[in-house]
Structure 1
Amino acid sequence: MKKSVGLALASAALGLSAPGHASELTEQEFNVPGFADFLAIDGATVWTTNDGRVEQWSIEGKVASTAVPRPCGAMSVAFGSLWVANCKDGNLYRIDVKTAAVQAIIPTGIANPKGETNVVVGAGSIWVPSDGSGKIARVDPDTNTVIASVTVDPGTFFLAFGLDALWAVSSDARSLQKVDPMTNAVAGRVALGAQPGFLAAGEGAVWVQEQGDGTVAKIDPGKLEVSGRTKVGKTLMYGDIDVGGGAVWLRTTEDQTFAVIDPQSMEILARAGKPAGSGALRYTPSGIWTTAHDQQTLSWWTGSAKSGD
């Protein structure tokens, strides 16, 4: 099923429009039985967590499926593999993206067995929030072993890698921590608002959902201070965030499916789709993938410019 949503976007955002033009954003929706949630981009396809499995999808439909006891949190694709946390057994699955076969199961521990967490890639390693007391495991993809453990604030479940650092959020401590991959140690902290959660690093800053305040915080990576905030809604509970194409992309649970934020002005450029409950989002230069697990759907959003009146 396809739905068209008329909205104005900045020219940088997905390349959908130009000054003086309007654009039409089209949603291609797929039925995905189960609980499709977190996403990872793999070329022209996307992987999603689901009940007892991860699945690979393209705009033509489902491509592959691999059994994982309880896949949880945002995943990453790197070194020819999909890296996904398994909350049931507290380990990390490595899955070949070409064959969908399990290559390794690495005992890392998972800091938040409830599933709100993520696995990220950077500095030649895989990083996993591994212990709720405040630990991040660093995994070597050459040996599939944990080679370092980083001590962080208790309740650190959320990670992003970018701008030459690992960034870690503790909702309990309301902190953003900058981890130096050269020393495997915290190099600085920033105080955050209520219930901070998922984050992204790019477009010149680190962006954090302050879920309890309904805001997105912009953090200067050099000064380690909040340089701005965008009020998006009453709350931002359990959505998702990504960066790319000159914009910040925010999956929301209220008011719309996702919002687009200008990283310079901090203004909301667009609000797309109807509220679809909790789910995930990932940006690509060709379009946006979103999930809505309560509706059992996966969506692919694209657009094209047209002349305005």
Structure 2
Amino acid sequence: MSALVPSAVFPVEGHPDWMAVTSDGVWVTSSSADHVVFLNANTNKPDRVVTVHRPCSGLAVGFGSLWIPSCGDHTLVRVNGRGGAPQATINAGPADPEGGIATGAGSVWLVTSAASELDRIDPHTNQISARIALPAGSFNPVFASGSVWVASNAGNALVRVDPKTNRVAGSTSIGPMPRFLTVGAGSVWVLNQGDGTISRVDAKTAKLLATIPAGIPGFGGEIAFGAGSVWATVSGFLITRIDPTTNRVIQQFVGKGGDSIRCAHDSLWLTFLSDAKVWRLPIPSR
């Protein structure tokens, strides 16, 4: 951990958690402070705040907007992606505080019930255009290679949804208690909380390509892709780095561990919920 020195530390009121990347910075939620804050990557200063009642369950950027699930009002809030001005409030609340949200195939995707119902939201009408039944305990959608992928935490599987039919098109058995997902190098990468492995699934064929023993089990944390690597953060391990050309862990930094991680603007971004801070770190040299 001593080798990692932040290039910037942002104090964020409350409990900073989820992040979403834009062309000029990073948005971050703070549920206990009832707002979302924009961290400017050019100035290394926060410069916009959007009020939302208990923002949770991820953030998504798309269609010129920032999409913010609200656990407080059980709605989905849409604001302008540049200035943060309110645009719409949609009656589609998150099923879980860590349930995730995604954009793709001309839509916004959000799991909205404990029974694992995936809502498809049309950004042109701000209405739900489809509801798709998923296996119980499914969360954290991502979009890759024309499909929506969702982790079935209870079923130890990665579920594929076809946006053309609005139906589940198949599933791939992966590690125990899969939760957080990211996309990169033609694959969907899944952090398995049960045993701390990372599953790699081909985004075109849905074939399991690798199960990587990362040694990072436990709740919380997150996973991201960028700068040619997969990055994970969990309690006790600040950063774990995986090389997608070898499917091996190539770096691991012991430390408190973050609550969310992103790779953007030539940096790693980590939120620390209990410390009310966000770190911006130079990408570690190999």
| Structure 1 pair 28–271 and aligned structure 2 pair: CA distance change class (3 A) | farther
CA distance in 2, matches of 1:263, 1:165: 21
Residues 83-115 of structure 1 show CA distances to partners (whole Å, capped at 9, x for unaligned) of 011112221010112221221110013222xx1
Where do 5+ consecutive residues of structure 1 fail to align? Answer: 7-24
| Structure 1 pair 276–296 and aligned structure 2 pair: CA distance change class (3 A) | farther
Identity rate of aligned residues, in percent? Answer: 30
1:77 alignment partner in structure 2: 61
| Structure 1 pair 230–97 and aligned structure 2 pair: CA distance change class (3 A) | same
1:21 alignment partner in structure 2: none
Matched, 1:118 2:100: yes
- Contact persistence 2:70–2:93 (CA under 8 A): no
SS in 2 for 1:270: strand
Residues 174-203 of structure 1 show CA distances to partners (whole Å, capped at 9, x for unaligned) of 221111111111111112222110111221
1:275 pairs with 251, 255, 270, which one?
A: 255
CA distance in 1, matches of 2:72, 2:38: 21
Residues 271-293 of structure 1 show CA distances to partners (whole Å, capped at 9, x for unaligned) of 24x52244101111521211111
Give, in angstroms, the shift of residue 261 of structure 1. Answer: 0.5
1:166 alignment partner in structure 2: 148
- Contact persistence 2:143–2:149 (CA under 8 A): yes
The equivalences for 1:243-262 within 5 A come to 243-254=225-236, 256-262=237-243
1:190 alignment partner in structure 2: 172
Letter in 2 for 1:287: S
CA distance in 1, matches of 2:245, 2:169: 26
CA distance in 2, matches of 1:303, 1:246: 11
CA distance in 1, matches of 2:218, 2:189: 13
CA distance in 1, matches of 2:177, 2:60: 24
1:293 pairs with 251, 256, 273, which one?
A: 273
TM-score normalized by structure 1? Answer: 0.85
Matched, 1:43 2:23: yes
**Structure of larger gyration radius:** 1
SS in 1 for 2:165: coil
CA distance in 2, matches of 1:97, 1:194: 36
SS in 2 for 1:159: strand
Give, in angstroms, the shift of residue 234 of structure 1. Answer: 4.6
User: What value does the CA root-mean-square deviation take over the aligned residues?
Assistant: 2.0
1:22 alignment partner in structure 2: none
CA distance in 1, matches of 2:51, 2:142: 26
| Structure 1 pair 216–27 and aligned structure 2 pair: CA distance change class (3 A) | farther
1:178 pairs with 142, 155, 160, which one?
A: 160
1:34 alignment partner in structure 2: 14
CA distance in 1, matches of 2:161, 2:180: 16
TM-score normalized by structure 2? Answer: 0.92
1:88 alignment partner in structure 2: 72
Letter in 2 for 1:5: A
RCO comparison, higher one (Cα < 8 Å, 6+): 1
1:54 alignment partner in structure 2: 36
Number of corresponding residues: 282
2:92 alignment partner in structure 1: 108
2:49 pairs with 55, 65, 86, which one?
A: 65
1:140 alignment partner in structure 2: 122
| Structure 1 pair 278–70 and aligned structure 2 pair: CA distance change class (3 A) | same
Give, in angstroms, the shift of residue 236 of structure 1. Answer: 4.2
- Contact persistence 1:157–1:170 (CA under 8 A): yes
